[in-house]
């Protein structure tokens, strides 16, 4: 028997094992999406005739390159750089750069695949891509970070451009790294071009890009709650991570009246039963910006409890927002959250829930928003930054924030439209189907060859 989506394989698992062996994160992301869109492809003769499944799961280009650079001890170090240009059917490739020792082809392909659907959901003309390096920035000096960024761009500049591919930040790539990368590109090409987003507003960046992902997560949550006649106000919130997405999600949750009781990093988590405040968040940002600092120092400063090596999912709260990294929330944690009466789980990170955890959430009577919908606010404001770059005309923070709220509300509506069955909303299904339709229809219109 053949798998109905591919003539040569009998199941999705067999297809993935044969075509892309040893890429577990990519298999996980593809399996989740394909389970939801298979019935749509099966029912749609045009999609089947166009072999949409095989074309969708094959990236257009996977580029790898050597990054050689000199550390402070004058030693030459070598890292591997990547850019996965996954799908450019609806616009130039767009997606972040991640610098982390766990970066490999599987991780970047899963991220580029997810990004393709996420970008489609924003309603802006952006294809999906992702890139980065296995470079570990922890403990490195500013000068080393700058030399690494220069060396990385020395290779990457061949593959990007305002009409080709426009990267941005992701884990360990923030304003400092984007500045170094942009400067390197300008010196190499002698052109001032909008080839990166997340730039400082002093040289073409958009207001609110820094805040956009975390704020967008909370705007999406507010939409979900409102549809159920509820509100963030008065709710307790568990957040994981202590970086860009986590701290801005916490900031917005607090201004909406929520009580944020945790943050975490790869060394453990804090439980602050009094709740975070803006001062505490500012301290976390400052502390975590210093190379290699653990969040453990929080409790000496503000009290609460530190759990070394733990995850915050055993705490009791109304809302959980995983905002750190992929597969940080497993089946046991998902069951603990449900057992403790969580009402909504909203993913700020990309694929933070394992496949088993996802099944627990989808089967439970809770609101569950997948990352590709809930964290799309960051790339949406990147899309607005591209427009500002083109026009050389900046927008105010108020205007960008208003656009962000509208885009998150539209994504919420799209999820409702494609994810409602018998009165129940499956946000995962809704996001997968709505994103798929847009990309697949563009691919159909453009033919093959
Ligand atoms: N920055 C952005 O605009 C967007 C980011 N994302 C996703 O959000 C997540 C977080 O990204 P950022 O906040 O930008 O990165 P970041 O580098 O600012 O922060 C990452 C945080 O996660 C923590 N962390 C890393 N590994 C961990 C682990 N195993 N357990 C607990 N904590 C861990 C780090 O200590 C750090 O505090 C990633 O999945 C990223 O792909 C998604 C959409 C946009
Ligand atoms: O703003 C961008 O282009 C990158 C955002 C991103 O990497 C993400 O949405 O995961």
Say if residues 219 and 377 touch (Cβ distance below 8 Å).
Answer: yes
Write the CATH number for 218. 3.40.50.720
Number of domains in the chain: 3
In the prediction, which pLDDT does 2 show?
67
Q: Looking at the structure, do residues 266 and 363 belong to the same domain, yes or no?
A: yes
Q: Looking at the structure, do residues 230 and 347 belong to the same domain, yes or no?
A: yes
Q: Is residue 390 part of a domain?
A: no
Q: Ligand 1 mean position to 326 CA, how many Å?
A: 9
**Residue 402 designated active-site:** no
Say if residues 34 and 84 touch (Cβ distance below 8 Å).
Answer: no
415-426 confidence digits (pLDDT tens): 999 999 988 999
96 C-beta closer than 6 A to ligand 2? yes
Question: In the numeric block, which tokens belong to residue 109?
Answer: 């392909």
Q: Looking at the structure, do residues 215 and 348 belong to the same domain, yes or no?
A: yes
Q: Ligand 2 mean position to 96 CA, how many Å?
A: 4
How many residues are recorded in the chain?
449
Q: For residue 220, give the 3-state DSSP assignment.
A: helix
Which atom of ligand 2 is nearest the CA belonging to 130? 7
Q: Looking at the structure, do residues 75 and 26 belong to the same domain, yes or no?
A: no
Boundaries of domain holding 336 = 210-374
Write the CATH number for 164. 3.40.50.10860
Q: Is residue 92 part of a domain?
A: yes
Domain boundary among 141, 165, 200: 200
Instruction: Give how far Cα 287 sits from Cα of 67, 252, 291, Å.
Output: 29, 20, 9
Cα–Cα distance between 170 and 95 in angstroms, integer? 8
Q: Is residue 332 part of a domain?
A: yes
- The DSSP code for 353 is B
- Low-confidence stretches of the chain (pLDDT < 70) are 1-2
Tokens 């106000």 belong to residue: 233
ipTM over 0.95: yes
Which run of H or E residues covers position 188?
helix 175-189
Q: Looking at the structure, do residues 124 and 175 belong to the same domain, yes or no?
A: yes
In the prediction, which pLDDT does 445 show?
98
In the prediction, which pLDDT does 270 show?
98
Q: Looking at the structure, do residues 166 and 273 belong to the same domain, yes or no?
A: no
Cα–Cα distance between 376 and 401 in angstroms, integer? 14
> Integer distance in angstroms from the first to the last C-alpha of the chain?
29
Which run of H or E residues covers position 237?
strand 236-239
Q: Looking at the structure, do residues 236 and 275 belong to the same domain, yes or no?
A: yes
350 C-beta closer than 6 A to ligand 2? yes
Tokens 């994504």 belong to residue: 411
Instruction: Give how far Cα 301 sits from Cα of 160, 237, 310, 334, 422, Å.
Output: 44, 21, 20, 31, 50
Q: Which of 130, 280, 372, 429 is catalytic?
A: 130
Q: Looking at the structure, do residues 229 and 336 belong to the same domain, yes or no?
A: yes
């Amino acid at each position: 028997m053949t798998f109905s989506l591919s003539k040569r394989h009998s199941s999705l698992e067999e297809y993935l094992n044969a075509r892309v062996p040893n890429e577990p994160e990519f298999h996980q992301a593809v399996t989740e999406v394909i389970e939801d869109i298979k019935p749509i492809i099966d029912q749609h003769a045009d999609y089947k005739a166009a072999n949409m499944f095989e074309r969708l799961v094959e990236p257009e280009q996977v580029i790898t390159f050597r990054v050689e650079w000199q550390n402070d001890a004058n030693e030459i170090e070598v890292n591997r750089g990547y850019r996965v240009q996954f799908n450019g059917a609806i616009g130039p490739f767009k997606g972040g750069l991640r610098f982390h020792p766990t970066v490999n082809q599987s991780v970047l392909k899963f991220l580029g695949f997810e990004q393709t659907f996420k970008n489609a959901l924003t309603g802006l003309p952006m294809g999906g891509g992702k890139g980065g390096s296995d470079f570990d920035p922890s403990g490195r000096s500013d000068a080393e970070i700058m030399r690494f960024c220069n060396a990385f761009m020395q290779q990457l500049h061949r593959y990007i451009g305002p009409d080709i591919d426009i990267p941005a930040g992701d884990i360990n790539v923030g304003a400092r790294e984007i500045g170094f990368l942009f400067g390197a590109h300008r010196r190499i090409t002698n052109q001032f071009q909008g080839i990166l987003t997340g730039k400082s507003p002093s040289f073409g960046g958009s207001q609110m890009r820094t805040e956009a992902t975390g704020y967008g997560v909370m705007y999406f949550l507010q939409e979900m709650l409102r549809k159920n006649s509820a509100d963030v106000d008065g709710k307790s919130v568990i957040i994981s991570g202590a970086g860009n997405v986590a701290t801005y999600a916490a900031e917005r949750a607090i201004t909406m009246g929520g009580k944020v009781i945790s943050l975490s990093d790869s060394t453990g988590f804090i439980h602050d039963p009094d709740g975070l405040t803006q001062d505490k968040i500012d301290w976390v940002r400052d502390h975590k910006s210093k190379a290699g600092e653990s969040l453990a120092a929080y409790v000496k400063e503000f009290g609460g409890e530190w759990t070394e090596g733990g995850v915050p999912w055993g705490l009791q709260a109304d809302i959980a927002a995983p905002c750190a990294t992929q597969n940080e929330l497993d089946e046991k944690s998902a069951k603990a959250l449900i057992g403790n009466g969580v009402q909504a789980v909203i993913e700020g990170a990309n694929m933070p829930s394992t496949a088993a955890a996802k099944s627990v959430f989808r089967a439970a009577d809770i609101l569950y928003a997948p990352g590709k919908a809930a964290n799309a606010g960051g790339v949406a404001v990147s899309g607005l930054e591209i427009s500002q770059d083109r026009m050389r005309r900046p927008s105010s923070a108020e205007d960008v924030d208003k656009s962000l709220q509208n885009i998150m509300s539209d994504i919420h509506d799209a999820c409702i439209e494609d994810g409602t069955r018998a009165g129940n909303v499956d946000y995962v299904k809704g996001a997968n189907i709505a994103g798929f339709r847009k990309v697949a229809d563009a691919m159909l219109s453009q033919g093959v060859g």
